[in-house]
Amino acid sequence: MSPSIPARIAALREAMSRHGIAACLVPTADPHLSEYLPAHWQARQWLSGFDGSAGTLLVTATEAGLWTDSRYFSQAEAQLAGSGIALMKQRIAHAPEHLIWLQQHLHQGDVIAIAGDSVSVATQRQIERQLGSAGIALRVDLDLPGMIWPERPALPKAPVVEHPLNYAGTSRAEKFDKLRHAMRKQHASHHLVSSLDDIAWLTNLRGSDVECNPVFLAHLLVGASGTSTLFVDRAKLSDTLVAALAEDGIRVAAYSTLNDALGELGATDTLLFDPGRVVSAVLQSVKPDVKRIEGTNPSTVFKACKTKTELEHIREVMRRDGAALVRAFRRLEERLTAGMAQTELDVDTLLREERSAQPNFVGESFATIAGYMENGALPHYRATPESHNTLQRHGLLLIDSGGQYLGGTTDITRVLALGPTTTEQRRDATLVMKGMIALSRARFPKGASGPQLDALARAPLWAAGMDYGHGTGHGVGYFLNVHEGPQGIRPPVAGGALVALEPGMISSIEPGLYKPARHGIRHENLAVVTEADETEFGEFYAFETLTLCPFDRRALEPSLLNPEERAWLDDYHASVRAALAPLLEDADLAWLEKHCTPL
């Protein structure tokens, strides 16, 4: 029988005591600093019972706390109940972040520990700088959770496959040539890549080691000339694939041998790496005399700007995905009208059925969020057989879902009115819609960044004294991670990088509003940055909306929309109708026509 959460924390404290550790930090991270982790590295979840995708566990000899953000407050409060672990709310006024808390509660000479394979080089430096001023030392050579974790899950063994060139659009050889050109400009002889989506994109390979993300566990060491090495479990690759990689100058080595290879670099070598995307444990094997260059992985920017071929495939995927959603929403409405009992779980099933019927569908891009009424107020809610709502013929249902296709990745949120709605619900949904339209219609100068545009989506809510606690937009990969950098649309952060939005970058536009125990609103489309025009003041960019699916206007209060906003919504629905009608017929086509009529 697996030990209880209190027993796990007690075992961790015993290990801390044996090694003279005053505090143990357990972040949500793996050696690739992924957002979603294979089970082998879900130590924070195993120790705390909290299964949200973001959070840091901190354990001392007498106290334990779980730091997470507003998306997970309600979820964490429920999952931590009775565990002895306190919920510590991040980014809340007068609430200390975990490093500040450590400064306040530890003493000079104390030592904290964090596993070196779960902390980036940049974060390690931040911790050492912040705590070192208080005389607190950091050790990264102890994996304390791993020492006490019985039956720790093994590393995933899913096969690695080729992403067909007609979908990838650009060959491995071309991508590596472009990368090596960037390396030579920085005078780097070697480049270490540990981020899984960069590796998958560069190699035109895909896997399924991480739930919903078509990536595989690997590191990549690129030589500026000659052979590169892919460190991966050889059993995942077919002989044919290994031979194809060899033809492109990529040899395969065991996943566990990266440190040995890095240790062979010498004084004549120069290693380029991203300190925010490489973990401390990996870099420890690099000799001190190896020259180092720190900077963003060039491939991160390359893959963020989608090519013409990629965008052509993405537009077709949006049509297919939109048609699947129309069928699912129509079926749900038909069942409710007929008096059939439907739950949030049934919504998930309907979406999966319809997407699975589409060409080149591979899987979901994240776990579907189907939150009815008060559950919609939980931004990352997930219905389970043990806890879910039954849908009623009134109120609002928030559905956030997405699909992975060979030709692209989708992410869309719609709010459905299942029957009569209140004035408050319609007003809230319309204020969020006004923000979405404002950002979707934005024109902005070349060089502008997401944090500079974020306020456009919030202004209608701010005017009403309301706001939301998450970012407004994230980058989206091309048959890759649904959350992708380097760009993002979010409030400015002191010291945070301002990444310019460039043509070809795809971002979500998803303002929201959440009223606990009542309802939640989020409207979301994906949009690509395009060139708009050039004036005497320079080049200007705009967003082209890619997502194709009607909004449920029954959830809105049209009188709150001004003429420009009404025109945008009508134009959007006209484009949705034109794109999806050829893929639909009979009842599905009639549903589309009904929901795309002008306001």
State mean pLDDT over 511-524. 96
Write the single-letter amino acid at 396: L
Q: What are φ and ψ of residue 437, in 5° steps?
A: -65, -40
Specify the CATH number for the domain of residue 491.
3.90.230.10
Ordered DSSP codes for 494-505: TT---PBP-TTB
Query: Cα separation of 371 and 368, whole Å?
Result: 9
* 154 located within any domain: no
Tell me: pLDDT of 328 over 90.
Answer: yes
Q: Are residues 360 and 251 in the same domain?
A: no
> Do 343 and 464 share a domain, yes or no?
yes
Helix (H) or strand (E) holding 574: helix 563-580
The residue behind tokens 């000479």 is 109
Structural domains of the chain, count: 3
State whether 27 and 118 are in the same domain.
yes
Q: Is the pLDDT of residue 94 over 80?
A: no
Same domain, 121 and 222: no
Over residues 270-298, mean pLDDT: 96
At 490 the pLDDT is 96
Residues 6 or more apart whose CB falls under 8 angstroms from that of 536 comprise none
How many whole angstroms separate alpha carbon 281 and alpha carbon 117?
5
| Model pLDDT, residue 245 | 98
User: Does 137 share its domain with 175?
Assistant: no
Note down the domain range covering 169: 161-303
Over residues 549-563, the mean pLDDT reads 98
Contacts of 129 (CB under 8 A, 6+ apart): none
**Above pLDDT 90, what percent of the chain?**
91
Q: What is the CATH number of the domain that holds 31?
A: 3.40.350.10
User: Is the Cβ–Cβ distance between 506 and 549 less than 8 Å?
Assistant: no
Give mean pLDDT, residues 407-431.
Answer: 98
Residue 214 shares a structural domain with residue 247: yes
Average pLDDT, the chain: 95
Whether 1 shows a pLDDT value over 70: the answer reads no
Residues 27 and 71 in one domain: yes
Per-residue pLDDT at 379: 85
Q: Are 89 and 95 in contact (CB under 8 A)?
A: yes
Residue with tokens 């649309």: 489
pLDDT for position 382 = 87
| Paired tokens of 368 | 């579907």
Q: Is residue 512 in some structural domain?
A: yes
Q: Which pLDDT value is given to residue 225?
A: 86
Query: Does 500 have pLDDT greater than 60?
Result: yes
Q: Which residue bears the tokens 């965008």? A: 311
- Same domain membership, residue 322 and residue 183: no
The 3-state secondary structure of 3-62, one letter per residue: CCHHHHHHHHHHHHHHCCCCEEEECCCCCCCCCCCCHHHCHHHHHHCCCCCCCEEEEECC
Looking at the domain assignment, is residue 107 inside a domain?
yes
Task: Kindly give, in sequence order, each residue whose CB lies less than 8 Å from that of residue 463, ignoring residues fewer than 6 positions away.
Answer: none
pLDDT value for 52? 87
Q: Could you tell me if residue 94 is inside a domain?
A: yes
Residue 327 lies in a domain: yes
**Structure confidence at residue 362 as a pLDDT band (50, 70, 90):** very high
Closest by CA position to 514, among listed 373, 385, 413 = 373
Asked if 228 and 135 sit in the same domain, the reply is: no
Q: What are 246-253's contacts with CB under 8 Å, separation 24+? A: 248/171, 248/172, 248/173, 248/176, 249/173, 249/176, 250/172, 250/176, 250/203, 251/227, 253/229
Whether 96 shows a pLDDT value over 90: the answer reads no
pLDDT of 2 over the 80 cut: no
Domain end point (choices 303, 329, 363): 303
Q: What angle do CA 490, 493, 499 make, to 5 degrees?
A: 60
Sequence-distant (6+) residues with CB within 8 A of 557 are 423, 426, 427, 429, 430
Locus of tokens 């697996």? 2
Query: Interhelix angle for 172-185 vs 196-203, to 10°?
Result: 120
The residue-averaged pLDDT of 35-58 equals 93
* Per-residue pLDDT at 124: 96
Q: Partners of 528 in the beta sheet?
A: 506, 544
Model confidence at 41, in pLDDT bands (50, 70, 90)? very high
DSSP 3-state helix, strand, coil percentages of the chain (rounded to 5)?
40, 20, 40
- Domain-ending residue, one of 147, 174, 202: 147
pTM reported for the whole predicted model: 0.94
Please give the distance of CA 10 from its chain centroid, rounded to a whole number.
33
Q: Do 314 and 289 belong together in one domain? A: no
Both tokens assigned to 466:
């309301």
Residues 293 and 334 in one domain: no
Supply the DSSP string of 275-334, one letter for each residue: TTTSBHHHHTTS-TTSEEEE---HHHHHHHB--HHHHHHHHHHHHHHHHHHHHHHHHHHH
In a domain, 428, yes or no: yes
Please check the confidence at residue 156 and state whether its pLDDT lies above 60: yes
CA dist., res. 58 & res. 162, Å (int): 41
Closest by alpha carbon to 224, among 279, 307, 293, 302?
293
Q: Going by DSSP bridges, is the β-strand pair 23-26/111-113 parallel, antiparallel, or unpaired?
A: parallel
Among candidate residues 303, 322, 353, the one where a domain is terminated: 303
Strand, coil or helix: what is 510?
coil
pLDDT of residue 384: 86
Whether 483 is covered by a domain: the verdict is yes
Residue 156 lies in a domain: no
Q: Distance between CA atoms of 359 and 225, rounded to whole angstroms?
A: 40
Average the pLDDT over each of 302-306, 484-488, 496-500 and give the range with the smallest value: 496-500
Residue with the larger pLDDT of the pair 438 and 73: 438
The pLDDT tens digits of the residues spanning 187-237 come to 999 999 999 999 999 999 999 999 999 999 999 999 998 889 999 999 999
Nearest partner of 412 among 330, 476, 502, judged by Cα = 476
Q: Are 241 and 324 contained in the same domain?
A: no
Q: Give the dihedral of Cα atoms 184, 189, 194, 196; nearest 10 deg.
A: 50
The DSSP 8-state label assigned to residue 170 in this structure reads S
